[in-house]
Amino acid sequence: MTTFSEVEAWRMLEASGAYLRGHFLLTTGRHSDQFFLLSRLSERPDWLWVWARALAERLEPFGVRTVVGPAVGGIIPAFAVASCWPGSRMLFAEKDTRGGMSFRRGFAISPGEAVVVVEDAVTTGKSVAAVIAAVEGAGGEVRAVGAWVDRSQDGPAFRPPLVALLKADVPHWSPDACPLCRQGVPLSRPKGPTEALR
């Protein structure tokens, strides 16, 4: 069994630039002093495989060999986890014109097929819920959701059990209640242009 050290995992996140401290605009419009840019972990495949093996082992009891990830953040984690299971397959779902997720590119789920959904991070769980709906719409069964990081505050918006390697309690504020704004700390959007917003 892989020994997954949370201390070492946090070191990898910080060293790779996947975990940031500062003043950030979240996709929800709220502000935070922490930000996860987990795609940066993919820059270090040797570290990424440590995470993939640990998550694959924790998902092993569900007995599933089909892994689905939401595009784009879940593609690499889903692929890495599936690679730990001989004979498995991996596919991804993409946003569609109705605001949900759907399978394209010839990907398909068979009726009754057991699936795990793998994502890099779960915050509200809305994108994972959309993938679950796509799987179930095709007649599949989602037995579990796996993630590198669970940063949900009140529990994710989906039914299957969530298996995460790390739990992160990340504070966030509305812009008018943000203490960092009051201190004049420059606001940045890590997934956008690199310059500060103000």
pLDDT tens profile 49-98: 999 999 999 999 999 999 999 999 999 999 999 999 999 999 999 999 99
- What residue type is 157 in one-letter code? A
Angle (nearest 5°) at CA 137 between 131 and 139? 110
- Helix or strand run (H / E) with residue 89: strand 89-95
Residue 193: inside a domain: no
Extract the tokens encoding 146.
């796996």
Residue 20 domain-assigned (yes or no): no
Helix 6-16 to helix 45-59 angle (10° resolution) is: 140
Give me the number of domains the chain comprises: 1
Contact between 177 and 39 under an 8 Å Cβ cutoff? The reply is no
Check residue 117 and give its pLDDT: 98
Q: Considering the domain boundaries, does residue 77 fall inside one?
A: yes
Within-domain flag for 137? yes
Q: What is the pLDDT of residue 115?
A: 98
Contact criterion met (CB below 8 Å) for 70 and 130: yes
Q: Does residue 176 lie in a domain region? A: no
Residue 136 belongs to a domain: yes
The per-residue pLDDT for range 96-117, each reduced to its tens digit, is: 999 899 999 999 999 999 999 9
Cβ neighbours of residue 178 closer than 8 Å, sequence gap 6 or more? 23, 31
pLDDT of 198: 46
> Above 60 in pLDDT, residue 196?
no
pLDDT of residue 124: 81
Q: What digits encode the pLDDT tens for the residues 134-176?
A: 999 999 999 999 999 998 877 788 999 999 999 998 888 999 9
Give the pair of three-digit tokens for residue 123: 């915050």
157 assigned to some structural domain = yes
Whole-number pLDDT of residue 29 = 84
Beta bridge pairs of residue 32: 24
- What average pLDDT does range 42-54 have in this prediction? 96
Q: Is residue 13 part of a domain?
A: no
Over residues 33-56, the mean pLDDT reads 95
What is the per-residue pLDDT for 109?
96
Model pLDDT, residue 2: 64
Domain span at 138: 44-169
Q: Quote the pTM value.
A: 0.89
State in Å, rounded, how far the first CA of the chain is from the last one.
Answer: 48
Please report, for the domain that includes residue 157, its CATH number. Answer: 3.40.50.2020
pLDDT at 191: 79
